Amino acid sequence: MSFLSLVGVEFKKIKRSKIFVILFIATVILWIPSILNAEMNFNMQAEGISPENNFFIQGFMGMAWFMFPASMVVGTVLLSQTERTNKGILKMLALPISTIKLCLAKFVVLLALAVSQILMMVGMYYISAAIVTATQDYNFILSPIFIFKEISSISISTIPMLAFFWMLSVCIQTPIFSIGIGLASIVPSVLIINTKVWFVYPMSYPFFVITSEYGKLAKNLTTAQVEFFPWIPVAISITIVCLCISCFRFGQVERE
């Protein structure tokens, strides 16, 4: 079985899971306060950020700090639990398919969930920006090229975090621990981005990227900037180590 058709099979499995509904509700709830408090964007002149940039950044900061990582923890639960019922995973493991491929196919689905939530965020951003433009009589809509650049850097920065969550859900058999560790690891990311060693903590990457972007857009505010040197090698090695461990552990408990 080719890798692509395996990924297709994995997508079919989550077709009726209603996960997209949850991801979508989360993005809708995220933008409601921004729409209601839109006039606050005009009070941010002290930081030297324009209202439209502020509107965009505040929304995406709300996403990156808790909602997005927590939704991805839910995504890992979905991937590990859909096949638990009636021991579906045992049947998959009995087929002549390499487990590594199967594990990576599931990870690709997780990546796709992440991308789809970020795209929903962008869609909701444009809808709410249009609403706010109408209510506040000021153009809040930013150019799609700028938004695309921003969201692609956020999306790439989330990969190590997703690999870590995936490793948790594969390696820890009791679901409460994998969920608990995943959710608890999100909480301190706000503190960790202010330290010098933020790059060893993958859960803080998306929030760090968006805060550094905030610092770039706000002239009078200095936030830590992205430095590629220790970060990229560390991030890549974290991703590879997490994926290797999860591929190695995948299906081992079931086969025993």
Partner 1 sequence: MSVSLEYKKVKRTGFIPAFLWGGTLAAVVPVINMAVRSEMYLGQPNSPIQILMGASWQMIAMLNILLVVVGPCLLYHLEFADNAMQKMKSLPIRESSIFLAKFILTSFMCIIVLTTEAISIIFCVSYWFEIGNNFWLELAKNFGYSFLLTLPCVLLSLLIASTFKNMWMSLGIGVVCVFTATMLPTNNFVLSLFPFAIPFQIFVNTETTQAMHYIYAAIIEIVAIGFAEFVFIKVRRSLE
Nearest to 135 by CA among 55, 78, 206, 68: 55
Q: At closest approach, how far in Å is the CB of 233 from partner 1?
A: 29
Residue type, 199: F
Residue 183 or 234: which CB sits closer to partner 1? Answer: 183
Cα(195)–Cα(34) distance, rounded to whole angstroms? 29
Give exposure, 43-78, as e/b (b: 16+ Cβ within 10 Å). ebeeeebbbbbbbbbbbbebbbbbbbbebbbbbbbb
3-class DSSP state for residue 175?
helix
**25: how many CB neighbours lie within 10 A of its CB?**
11
CB of 177 to partner 1, least distance (A): 5
- The distance of closest approach from Cβ of residue 70 to partner 1 in the complex, given in angstroms and rounded to an integer, is 4
- Nearer of residues 125 and 231 to partner 1, judged by Cβ: 125
Quote the least distance from Cβ 10 to partner 1, whole Å: 15
Q: What share of the chain is helix, strand, coil (3-state, %, to 5)?
A: 80, 0, 20
Looking at the Cβ atoms of 194 and 252, the one nearer to partner 1 is: 194
Decide whether 17 or 223 has the Cβ nearer to partner 1: 17
**Residue closer to partner 1 (CB basis): 12 or 137:** 12
Which residue, 79 or 209, is less far from partner 1 as judged by CB? Answer: 79
What single-letter amino acid sits at 216?
K
Residues in touch with partner 1 (CB under 8 A): 17-19, 22, 25-26, 29-30, 33, 62, 66-67, 70-71, 73-75, 77-78, 81, 84-85, 174-177, 179-180, 183-184, 187
Q: How far is the CB of 64 from partner 1 (least distance, A)?
A: 12
d(CA 199, CA 230): 7
Shortest gap between Cβ of 90 and partner 1 (angstroms)?
Answer: 14
Closest approach of partner 1 to the CB of residue 37, in Å? 9
HSE-up of residue 251 (Cα within 13 Å, Cβ side): 21
Beta carbon nearer to partner 1, 75 or 215: 75
* Cα of 162 vs its chain's centroid, Å: 7
d(CA 170, CA 165): 9
